[in-house]
Amino acid sequence: IKFLDETWLEGFTKDGVLHGFSRHFDGKNRLTYIGMYRNGKPFGTWWKIIRGGGCVVGRVDEDGKLSGTTIAYLYPDFKSALIGTFKDGEMVFSQAAQLTGHTTENSCIKRPVFTEPDGRLYQREISTHEFVT
């Protein structure tokens, strides 16, 4: 499916709606999301590929967003992570954890398994002209 903004996706459909594994791409054919649809709605574990490295990964909420209290930012080394509260794929608060393995969800999506998050609590801060993080 190609969209007017040149982004596109490939995936499975059932009765004319997305149903099953899908991959989303930007207008330059770069992978941006991987996940599953059920009856036209995102569900289960989704991966948001971050340009420049790393991924945001977790189970989407009822609105199909990467929002909740157990979402992870997986660093480009694919070992280190920040796990915590994210809203629509952006970190609110998190703690450090390490990747220990993975499980397979719905016979196709890898779901990472992490150590229990601990240590310092990190918070998303946006830099301004007066405040640099």
Residue with tokens 């420049």: 52
Largest CA distance in the chain: 54
Reported as a single tens digit per residue, the pLDDT across 10-65 is 999 999 999 999 999 999 999 999 999 999 999 999 999 999 999 999 999 999 99
> Which residue type occupies 67?
S
| pLDDT (0 to 100) of residue 87 | 97
pTM of the model: 0.92
When pLDDT is cut at 50, 70 and 90, the band that residue 125 belongs to is confident
**In whole angstroms, what is the distance from residue 101 CA to residue 110 CA?**
10
The answer, yes or no, to whether residue 78 has pLDDT greater than 90, is yes
**In whole angstroms, what is the distance from residue 91 CA to residue 84 CA?**
8
